[in-house]
Amino acid sequence: MGLRDLAAAADLEIGASATAAELDDASAALLGGEFNRLATENDLKWGAVRPEREVFEFDAADRLVAFAERNDMAVTGHALVWHVETPDWLRGLGADELAAELRTHVRRLTGRYDGRIDTWDVVNEAVADDGTLRESLWYEQLGERYVADAFRWAAGETDADLFYNDYGLPYNERKRERVYRLLEGLLERGVPVDGVGLQLHCVGVHPTPEQLRGTVRRFRELGLEVRVTELDVAYRIGEAPEDLAAVQAEYYRAVVGACLDAGVGSVTLWGVTDDRSWVTSWRDYPERYTGQPLLFDGEGREKPSYDAVASVLRERGRD
């Protein structure tokens, strides 16, 4: 029995991110066979879908959504507003023009995939590590209102669940509490936010199960659904455990167990096979961190981490 069936028996949705390019290699069979949610890793980000002001390029995203439909997978659209991967043409616009382009972008994407993408990461990483709102093109030009506007514009075009997504929340208290206040304020003003996504890139920093459970409880106080949206596990080179595979597997077991304990209904891995992980290609990460962060190795073989996740799902499915 594969992960998706084990997860279903444990009342958990299990997902992975992918790009359209990965649909042409062996990892596609793993993606469709082992997971029941697909996150559009890069193909719906601004830089990919709107390289020029009047150009929308949907071919890659269309392929991903069609693949998900053929394989009975739900889809998370990632991400409508982010401070990274913004095309250069946006930077020459004034505030009114920028707001108009953001509105057009959000409405065009959510409307195009209404009924096909059931979850959107509407705003991604709007809070900095020090607990302040992140200095970005959007914040500098539009102020904090861009967050509320993006959610409202999305809700006007789709019935999908609308999420705020961010990293570091289980272990960075200042950031967690600022995100909490941000979302609390949005909800008090009637802004349609459905949930919060916990990016769990355990790269160097590995939050404890207690931190994870506490963070989930904190945001559920607001009535929000909480999902783990970007899970992978790597270690700093020079600090990695000697028995890396076994320690990584035990950590995966602990994280998935904590998610089930806390009532998290959806966990998404950020990638399928180790060789396609962002940890192996992002900036100087390959020189800083171990490069085996996922459940399948570069040949698509199951790792001890896969066995650990399958084991905890199997155990919880019998509860």
Domain boundaries along the sequence of the chain: 3-318
- For the chain, residues with pLDDT lower than 70 are 319
Question: What does the angle CA 246 – CA 9 – CA 201 come to, to the nearest 5 degrees?
Answer: 40
Distance CA 76, CA 266 (A): 11
- CA distance readout (Å), 288 to 39, 87, 261, 277, 281: 26, 28, 32, 14, 11
Q: What is the pLDDT of residues 155-207, one digit of tens each?
A: 999 999 999 999 999 999 999 999 999 999 999 999 999 999 999 999 999 99
Which residue in the list 69, 230, 250, 302 is annotated as catalytic?
Answer: 230
* Annotation marks residue 230 as catalytic: yes
Which residue in the list 22, 41, 125, 225 is annotated as catalytic?
Answer: 125
pLDDT at res. 114: 98
CATH number corresponding to 3-318: 3.20.20.80
Phi, psi of 99 (to 5 degrees): -60, -40
* Annotation marks residue 242 as catalytic: no
3 state SS for 111-129: HHCCCCCCEEEEEECCECC
Amino acid identity, position 89: W
pLDDT at res. 1: 85
pLDDT at res. 319: 58
